[in-house]
Structure 1
Amino acid sequence: MKDFRSVADAVAEEIASGRLGPGERLPPQREFARRHAIANSTAVRVYQELGRRGLTVGQVGRGTFVTAAPGASVPAPALSEPAVDRVDLELNHPVVPEQAGLLAAGLTRLVGSDNLESVLRPVGPAGTPTAREAAADLLVRGGERPGPERVLFAGNGRQAISAAVAALTRPGARLGVEEFTYPVLKAIAVRLGVTLVPLAMDEDGLIPEAVEEAHRADPLHAVYVQPVLHNPLTLTMPARRLDHLADVLLTSGIHAIEDAVWAFLRSDLPTLASRAPERTVLVDSVSKRLSPGLSLGFAVAPAALVGRVAAAVRSGAWTPMRFPLEAMVRWQEDGVVATLVRAKQREAGVRQEIVHRRLGDFRTRSDPSSYHLWWELPAPWRSDTFVAAAARHGIAVTPAAAFSVGRPRGPHAIRLGLASPTRDVLSRTLATLGGLARSAPDDFAGD
């Protein structure tokens, strides 16, 4: 049996000799295993070892790419600059300085309360009456407060989405999605056996006529949509588009799953659920508002679907823990949630100003309230070669293909998450990426 290290050494030698060049894609792990007559588990370890050595970088939805320059026995950074510590512009978790202190105060009171034993007990998707009231207050948007009786809870936002998809579809069903969508939804669809149907977008977001056309061609069971601060394109539907989409849902009888995870940054805007309440399941979470370490998701369902969504939460083992539920109640009642939301709204504006200073001369798309950015790369850069070159600088970015649905390859664009680094690190990192984009790729091949 071949040792994974010896196989990794052989691949490293190919990279060092130039037979595998920067930006070149390695085969899928199963195919690699067949070629080298090794077990799939061994191939997994080989790829992990290559990544550990800094010779490759893996991208969700795209594959594994070579990052070392020809002739180098160790990773060589693009543009001959020294390597830096890894900066993650893929994950996107807003943090503000006052966050830890505000959250700690509420937790101290919760842990020290006489009710700690009950706080540690299990809870179902309906939570508690107090939690439903607090969640309804937390989810107010555009002056609209959802009915507490329609609020359900899941372990996190992804599980809330999974439960909504499971409740509204079945294996083999067609789920309409924006042509660029949340990558995790693609994995959820695979797991649930659901077919994603890409729907056209324009500058105002999802095009309602595209929903109607797809539904006429072969009925859709539901539509998943991000009306506010769309991830990755940062688009927000204007009121007229929101009304039009609601009309399509009502006339066609299609249900919608409204992902509102980033919408807390634009709490002045109404929800699709307020326009078509009987056709829309709204999903949200507290992680972006409060802390990535707090896991709690919400699903606000039409009255007729509450039972079905709750059953999906239970059958998927997606029920929440009671502790974060009770913590959310205290933070909401104490005003901590509102304080942190305002702070994170201000911080988003600061980070967008940094983007403007560093990348203002490029074709980017964003929103002053957003924590992410869509960047159309200048020629001759391709998204895969740019991702690999950025990785050699210790910077992780996400290629367009990770978000694309129904295309063999995405456009030459990337998404940058702006939330996780400190302001200074973000500024330096964007300056590095800007310098990289102004330079010629190390390895460019035409389409």
Structure 2
Amino acid sequence: MEDYQRIADAVAADIAAGRLRPGDRLATQRAFARAHGIANSTATRVYRELTRRGLTVGEVGRGTYVRAAQHSPGPALAEPADPARRPRVNLELNYPEVPEQAALLAQGLSPLLRPDVLSAALTMAPATGSPAAREACAALLARGDFRPDPDGLLFAGNGRQAIAGALAALVPPGGRLGVEALTYPLVKSVAARLGVTLVPLAGDAYGLLPDAVRTAHRGAPLHAVYLQPTLHNPLGVTMPAERRAELAGTLRALDLWAVEDAVWSFLLDDDRQAGLPPLAALAPERTLLVDSLSKRLSPGLTVGLVLAPPSYTERVAAALRSGGWTAGAFALNATVRWLCDGAVAAIVEAKRRDAAARQALVREHLAGFRVHADPAAYFAWWELPAPWRAETFLAAAARRGIAVTPGAAFAVGPEGAHGAAPAPGAVRVALAAPAADELTHALTALAAIARGTPEDCVPD
């Protein structure tokens, strides 16, 4: 290990231990070199390594700052100097909960705790689950005229594993996967592990452009396209029916597969969903539909779903088995009970109301800014005003005890790279985690930061 890597490891350890906190400004590289008895060029490599690891962010003339954690379950945010100030507010993680949730879930779990029932529920489950799970989850995915075949359903441990299994089944190592230019960050890490090349595809206010798919495929054939047609994360865009039909025709014309991520679609009310057929209904022979109960219910006890056409069920099942991504029998049994006793439907309705109320807070407290969000979504995409950039805004927010996600986390890098593209001047604000009064406080504080300048927030 080279000297600069060992020094970077030491700084990283200080960040992990909380000795350096998000929003803290590091010494200048020259001062850092003097303090550590190293050459200026070595200090430069240390700072580059910290940035590469996603631990710091720097801007010319403003210094280098510790950034907010992006992937840990609970980001370590800067402790306010004044103990009377508000507690930390996490606007990165987005697992919604509603007050009635725990009681409703407990009712479905209690029958499973009988010794005879529990013994059966703790057995291994195949990727195909059980007939009861397939029937119940097929009904869950139905919308409008779309009635999925229960025999096409496969089960993963969660939505992320469902996505990984679908991609592994469709795209070989070294293959090319088309994705929206701003996409779910997990897809970038899954692609890197699978050795898959991401190809960013352009979109507009209505979602992914079919012309972008055709152009990319002509340049070098794609193996598949991953997209979020409903409540796109982070943009909140929902693709209209006409665009969906055009895209389904494009898939057929190009003999191309799609992985359709429907994880957030449950937040749309039944009337909106009925008029928006999934790609799995329009091009069922070319689409793998992925969904999960993580957002509907809870990330701690959930299942992921993959709906595949008959020609691909075994291939997807093999990918889930080889990755160790199949669902546990206990989670499947609990899911069936929650679906059949009405718990899922009741919680979904409560979360729809909750998301709408939180979006109302966004409209109130971020009025006058360029914010893109669907009234039904649990997140908002905020294009920051000049002179703010996402990373400096992130550091300023962290100093107020607030964590948001920079646009770079969603941006797809140049073809062949799995890192972020040049960072958009935007942040995603996740609305689900804090209590309503904490969210109000956080949005008010973020608006105040955005009305100032980065120089206003430079620590003494």
TM-score interval (norm. to shorter): 0.7 to 0.9
In the alignment, the residues of structure 2 paired with residue 350 and residue 276 of structure 1 have an alpha-carbon distance, to the nearest angstrom, of 35
Q: Aligned AA for 1:306?
A: T
Q: Cα gap change, 1:106/1:169 in structure 2, threshold over 3 Å: closer, same or farther?
A: same
Is residue 367 of structure 1 aligned with residue 374 of structure 2?
yes
Q: Aligned AA for 2:353?
A: R
Q: Aligned AA for 1:221?
A: H
Q: Which residue of 2 aligns with 1:394?
A: 401
Q: Is the 8 A contact 1:134 1:329 kept in 2?
A: yes
In the alignment, the residues of structure 2 paired with residue 212 and residue 151 of structure 1 have an alpha-carbon distance, to the nearest angstrom, of 29
Q: Aligned AA for 1:431?
A: T
Q: Which residue of 1 aligns with 2:161?
A: 159
**Correspondences of 1:192-231 after superposition (within 5 Å):** 192-231=194-233
Offset, 1:347: 1.1
Q: Deviations over 1:275-321 (max 9, x none)?
A: 10000000011011111222310000111000000000000011111
Q: Which residue of 1 aligns with 2:438?
A: 425
Offset, 1:48: 1.6
Is residue 440 of structure 1 aligned with residue 453 of structure 2?
yes
Q: Cα gap change, 1:365/1:291 in structure 2, threshold over 3 Å: closer, same or farther?
A: same
Is residue 106 of structure 1 aligned with residue 112 of structure 2?
no
In the alignment, the residues of structure 1 paired with residue 137 and residue 183 of structure 2 have an alpha-carbon distance, to the nearest angstrom, of 26
TM-score by length of 1: 0.85
Candidates 365, 378, 382, aligned match of 1:358: 365
Is residue 331 of structure 1 aligned with residue 333 of structure 2?
no
Offset, 1:61: 8.1
TM-score by length of 2: 0.83
Q: Which residue of 2 aligns with 1:409?
A: 422
Q: Which residue of 1 aligns with 2:6?
A: 38
Moved more, 347-356 or 35-44: 35-44
Q: Which residue of 2 aligns with 1:147?
A: 149
Offset, 1:196: 0.1
Identity of aligned residues (%): 52
**Correspondences of 1:289-308 after superposition (within 5 Å):** 289-308=296-315
In the alignment, the residues of structure 2 paired with residue 379 and residue 54 of structure 1 have an alpha-carbon distance, to the nearest angstrom, of 22
RMSD (Å) for aligned C-alpha atoms: 2.8
Q: Which residue of 1 aligns with 2:32?
A: none
Is residue 130 of structure 1 aligned with residue 132 of structure 2?
yes
Q: Aligned AA for 1:271?
A: P
Q: Deviations over 1:47-95 (max 9, x none)?
A: 423565456599998542379xx99xx99xx999975422111110111
Q: Which residue of 1 aligns with 2:72?
A: none
Q: Deviations over 1:390-412 (max 9, x none)?
A: 01111110010010012641210
Structure 1 gap segments, 5+ residues each: 1-32
Q: What SS is found at the alignment partner of 1:282?
A: strand
Q: Is the 8 A contact 1:167 1:309 kept in 2?
A: yes
Q: Is the 8 A contact 1:123 1:319 kept in 2?
A: yes
In the alignment, the residues of structure 1 paired with residue 82 and residue 390 of structure 2 have an alpha-carbon distance, to the nearest angstrom, of 20
Structure 2 gap segments, 5+ residues each: 26-49, 68-79, 269-273, 415-420
Q: What SS is found at the alignment partner of 2:311?
A: helix
Candidates 31, 46, 65, aligned match of 2:57: 65
Q: Is the 8 A contact 1:62 1:401 kept in 2?
A: no
Q: Aligned AA for 1:185?
A: V
Q: Which residue of 2 aligns with 1:8?
A: none
Q: What SS is found at the alignment partner of 1:114?
A: helix
Q: Which residue of 2 aligns with 1:121?
A: 123
Q: Is the 8 A contact 2:303 2:332 kept in 1?
A: yes
Offset, 1:270: 1.9
In the alignment, the residues of structure 1 paired with residue 231 and residue 52 of structure 2 have an alpha-carbon distance, to the nearest angstrom, of 21
Moved more, 111-120 or 425-434: 111-120
Q: Aligned AA for 2:443?
A: L
Q: Cα gap change, 1:63/1:143 in structure 2, threshold over 3 Å: closer, same or farther?
A: farther
In the alignment, the residues of structure 1 paired with residue 246 and residue 155 of structure 2 have an alpha-carbon distance, to the nearest angstrom, of 29
In the alignment, the residues of structure 2 paired with residue 149 and residue 37 of structure 1 have an alpha-carbon distance, to the nearest angstrom, of 52
Q: Cα gap change, 1:128/1:366 in structure 2, threshold over 3 Å: closer, same or farther?
A: same
Q: What SS is found at the alignment partner of 1:304?
A: coil
Q: Is the 8 A contact 1:56 1:65 kept in 2?
A: no
